Amino acid sequence: MAFLSLGVAGYAAFVYGVLPPGSLVHSDMKVTYNTHATGIYTHVFGALFALLLGPWQFSMRLRASRPLLHRWMGRLYLGIGVLLGGIAGLYMAFHAFGGIVARTGFGLLAVLWLSTGLLAYLAIRAGDVASHRRWMVRNFALTFAAVTLRLWLPGSVASGIAFEVAYPVIAWACWVPNLVVAELAFNRDRVAA
């Protein structure tokens, strides 16, 4: 998880920090990237931040030995990564390639990313550590959509599926399975207890 998160964060830093906007996207998406460059860069910067910090928040060793660092990393993860990335992601969902199916998929992803982050924050402020952890697992499952999207895209290209057909499906497939896996993990824990 950490390896893939850091890999996609590095990829994003290179692509959006060095190359011109939209240089590696499908030709039909270039206009959106150029027209809404601020939204794209804000979303990418926030998501990149979340990908860099998120995996370390699950380290029991970090939480036990450096709780203050864990708290500050969590504040930055939620405040910059999720809040900034999520608001910009919601804005960009309205302009997503792939019609209403892709726009709805990405829009719901952004809404859930923001709301699970808020619920995680409210839970820890209320002192409910167990609930906070569950909401953070859900939240990072949604953050990890940045990774799974980049796994689905080359897979769809390699299989010969037209981009116009694949992309609206990937707008859902990049996050729904992640959330299902997180929920199944909670259910497994309850059954084992």
End-to-end Cα separation, the chain, in angstroms: 25
Residue pair 77/50 in contact (Cβ under 8 Å)? The answer is yes
Q: Which of 83, 1, 21, 14 is nearest to 47 (CA)?
A: 83
How confident is the prediction along the chain (193 residues), in pLDDT tens digits per residue? 888 998 999 888 888 888 877 778 888 888 888 889 899 999 999 999 999 999 999 889 998 999 999 999 999 999 999 999 999 999 999 999 999 999 999 999 999 999 999 999 999 999 999 999 999 999 999 999 999 999 999 999 899 999 999 999 999 999 999 999 999 987 775 555 4
- What's the pTM? 0.91
